């Protein structure tokens, strides 16, 4: 054991330094005006682009576009991927983290980390743990679905189909809720730990398993597969390939797709390579992890990109529920759709003019063909109104949802005494190496990226477009001001937090 502890200390020191180096060396990318059109970027299977990562259903760009390439960062990630296999951040047989949440965090989140980014805050909702409250007011509010006139559920049972590392509990979970006024109350949890109700001996542990399932699905599926890979990469490929550099629609979308392919390359290398973050932090074995990405790609429903249509499909609107996360998401979505509508009307006098633009139609056809099950649930480009809803939803995807399902977990995911990242069959907490890797991975999500709150009017081709971009910035600032008059919460997203795109 002393030898193992020494080896772990050396690994921990190296990987902490790499995490801090990556964070401190990152630079905010200025978005350039689209240059001369280069060859179209084709979509290929992820397994063809990344040999050794056996994900066949997900499509990614065949290459990193020239204007996105960053050789220095690429070299860093290639070295990191090799280190995963030879001197990775994990080591077997280590002790569990401290049961005291602040002590565990202090051990993993060092002074060097804290000089670059503040430590996470403990959510008020975790103080007196209540799944009913978290079902409405947390990063996991998007899982609540109506099952009857006053009943609801979190249905994460499909996760039971995926094998987990030895000694861990399978993640398939169903939580039943009943409405009580504007709130819901958890009444039953059905999982590998059994079917339990409040007051049962296994209730608290089952609550932890339910949160583990929710945060795992949010991180792997909702964030990485359903933001970065399945729709995000396709959105960027279609915009680059179907629209000329000077096309007004390309200029509207450009700040929201630039560096997508580069970002997806570096994060895929860092998280899905053998020994990468995903298989080393979360519960699933490598084989099951890759199968999860393939199968949830095929299941993708574009309606999840539009917060209102998604909530309507889940049956949670118009029932008297307090839905603060939906309200916050919709407020941003409204501003983004209004921006798209204003910009399109500045360039197309009516619906027929938009419908007659062959470049726009080609863009839509390519986007619809690349995304599994199409994007018809979001709208089309037959009219300015429908196109605005589609475009606003895509902007919402790469900015708001990227934040809500990724960086926003910083204040939730690291308190594993409440929300485990893995659930051991013997009820032991996560070992220190798994927790340290989680801390460094989530720390990396907070790297500064291109902010949404800036004037992108320089990208427009004419004064009408420039005015539309300036009005968009004004509307976002107005939303920020309005939200600041309300009590600040850890589960809400604010315009000042938004990044323009998913750039790495």
Q: What is the pLDDT of residue 3?
A: 59
Q: Which two tokens stand for residue 398?
A: 């790469």
CA 54, distance to chain mean position in Å, is 21
- Cα separation, 175 vs 138, in Å, equals 15
Residue 120 region by backbone torsions, left for phi larger than 0, else alpha for psi between -120 and 50, else beta: beta
pLDDT for residue 504: 57
What element of type H or E holds 153? strand 151-156
Helix (H, G, I), strand (E, B), or coil: what is residue 361?
helix
3-state secondary structure of 45: strand
Residue 132 vs residues 143, 156, 201, 232, 356: alpha-carbon distances, Å: 12, 16, 19, 32, 50
Query: What is the rounded CA–CA span in Å between residue 245 and residue 359?
Result: 11
Q: What is the pLDDT of residue 8?
A: 87
Q: Calculate the CA 284 to chain-centre distance.
A: 18
Backbone angles phi, psi at 385, to 5 degrees: -60, -45
- pLDDT computed for residue 297 by the predictor: 97
249's CB contacts (< 8 A; 6+ apart) are 243, 344, 359, 360, 363
* Parallel, antiparallel or unpaired: strands 151-156 and 173-180: antiparallel
Question: Is the distance from CB of 363 to CB of 242 less than 8 angstroms?
Answer: yes
What is the pLDDT, as a whole number, of residue 5?
67
Nearest to 50 by CA among 233, 222, 239, 235: 233
Q: Where are the alpha helices (DSSP H) in 55-98?
A: 71-87
Rounded CA-CA distance 93/119 in Å is 28
Predicted model pTM = 0.97
Which pLDDT does position 4 carry in this prediction? 63
CA–CA gap between residue 252 and residue 259 (Å, rounded)? 15
Structural domains in the chain?
Answer: 2-122+209-497 (1.20.245.10)
Q: In 201-257, where does DSSP find H-type helix?
A: 203-217, 234-242, 248-257
Contact 284, 162 (CB under 8 A): yes
439 neighbors 109 (Cβ within 8 angstroms): yes
**Burial of 3 by CB count in 10 Å (0-12 exposed, 13-18 middle, 19+ buried)?**
exposed
Q: Show the CA angle centred on residue 101, arms to residues 95 and 107, nearest 5°.
A: 60
Nearest to 469 by CA among 335, 329, 332: 335
The two three-digit tokens of residue 50, written as one number? 């990344």
pLDDT at residue 274, rounded to an integer: 93
Supply 446's token pair: 């907070």
- Do 55 and 293 form a contact (C-beta atoms < 8 A)? yes
pLDDT tens-digit profile, the chain (504 residues): 555 667 888 999 999 999 999 999 888 989 999 987 667 899 999 999 999 999 999 999 999 999 998 888 889 888 888 888 889 898 888 999 999 999 999 999 999 999 999 999 999 999 889 999 999 999 999 999 999 999 999 999 999 999 999 999 999 999 999 999 999 999 999 999 999 999 999 999 999 999 999 999 999 999 999 999 999 999 999 999 999 999 999 999 999 999 999 999 999 999 999 999 999 999 999 999 999 999 999 999 999 999 999 999 999 999 999 999 999 999 999 999 999 999 999 999 999 999 999 999 999 999 999 999 999 999 999 999 999 999 999 999 999 999 999 999 999 999 999 999 999 999 999 999 999 999 999 999 999 899 999 999 999 999 999 999 999 999 999 999 999 999 999 999 999 999 999 875
Spatial distance between the Cα atoms of 219 and 404, rounded to a whole number of angstroms: 10
Q: Is 39 exposed, middle or buried (0-12, 13-18, 19+ CB in 10 A)?
A: exposed
Q: Cβ-count burial of 35 within 10 angstroms (0-12 exposed, 13-18 middle, 19+ buried)?
A: exposed
Cβ(390)–Cβ(319) under 8 Å?
no
pLDDT value at residue 37: 62
- Encoding tokens for residue 197? 């109700």
Task: Please state, in angstroms and rounded to a whole number, the distance separating the CA atoms of residues 467 and 472.
Answer: 9
């Amino acid at each position: 054991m002393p030898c193992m502890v020494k080896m772990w200390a050396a690994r921990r020191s190296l990987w902490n330094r790499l995490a801090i180096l990556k964070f401190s060396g990152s630079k905010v990318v200025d978005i350039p005006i689209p240059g001369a059109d280069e060859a179209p970027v084709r979509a290929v299977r992820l397994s063809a682009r990344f040999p050794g990562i056996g994900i066949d259903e997900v499509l990614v760009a065949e290459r990193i576009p020239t204007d996105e390439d960053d050789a220095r960062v690429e070299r860093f990630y290639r070295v990191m991927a090799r280190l995963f296999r030879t001197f990775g951040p994990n080591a077997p047989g280590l002790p569990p983290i401290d049961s005291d949440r602040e002590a565990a965090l202090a051990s993993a989140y060092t002074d060097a980390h804290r000089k670059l980014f503040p430590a996470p805050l403990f959510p008020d909702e975790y103080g007196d743990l209540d799944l009913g409250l978290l079902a409405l007011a947390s990063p996991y509010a998007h899982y609540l679905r109506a099952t009857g006139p006053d009943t609801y559920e979190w249905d994460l049972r499909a996760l039971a189909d995926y094998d987990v590392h030895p000694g861990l509990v399978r993640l398939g979970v169903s939580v039943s809720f009943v409405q009580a006024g504007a709130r819901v109350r958890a009444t039953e949890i059905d999982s590998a730990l059994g079917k339990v109700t409040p007051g049962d001996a296994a209730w608290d542990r089952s609550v932890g398993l339910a949160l583990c399932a929710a945060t795992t699905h949010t991180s792997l599926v909702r964030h990485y597969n359903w933001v970065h890979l399945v729709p995000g990469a396709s959105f960027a490929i279609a915009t680059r390939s179907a629209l000329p550099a000077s096309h007004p629609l390309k200029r509207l979308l450009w700040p929201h797709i630039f560096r997508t392919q580069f970002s997806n390359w570096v994060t895929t290398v860092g998280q899905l390579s053998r020994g990468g973050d995903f298989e080393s932090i979360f519960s699933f074995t490598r084989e099951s992890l890759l199968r999860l990405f393939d199968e949830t790609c095929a299941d993708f429903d574009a309606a999840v990109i539009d917060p209102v249509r998604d909530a309507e499909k889940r049956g949670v609107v118009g029932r008297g529920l307090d839905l603060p996360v939906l309200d916050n998401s919709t407020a941003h979505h409204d501003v983004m759709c209004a921006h798209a509508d204003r910009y399109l009307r500045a360039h197309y006098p009516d619906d027929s003019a938009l419908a007659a633009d062959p470049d726009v139609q080609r863009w839509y056809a390519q986007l619809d063909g690349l995304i599994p099950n199409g994007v018809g649930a979001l709208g089309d480009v037959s009219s300015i109104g429908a196109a605005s809803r589609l475009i606003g939803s895509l902007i919402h995807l790469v900015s708001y949802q990227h934040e809500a399902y990724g960086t926003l977990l910083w204040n939730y995911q690291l308190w594993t005494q409440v929300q485990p990242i893995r659930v051991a069959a013997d009820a032991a907490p996560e070992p220190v190496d798994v927790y340290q890797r989680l801390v460094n991975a989530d720390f990396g999500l907070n790297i500064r990226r291109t902010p949404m709150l800036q004037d992108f009017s320089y990208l427009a081709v004419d004064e009408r477009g420039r005015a539309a971009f300036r009005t968009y910035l004004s509307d976002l600032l107005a939303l920020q001001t309005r939200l600041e008059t309300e009590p600040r919460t850890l589960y809400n997203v604010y315009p000042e937090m938004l990044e323009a795109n998913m750039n790495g």
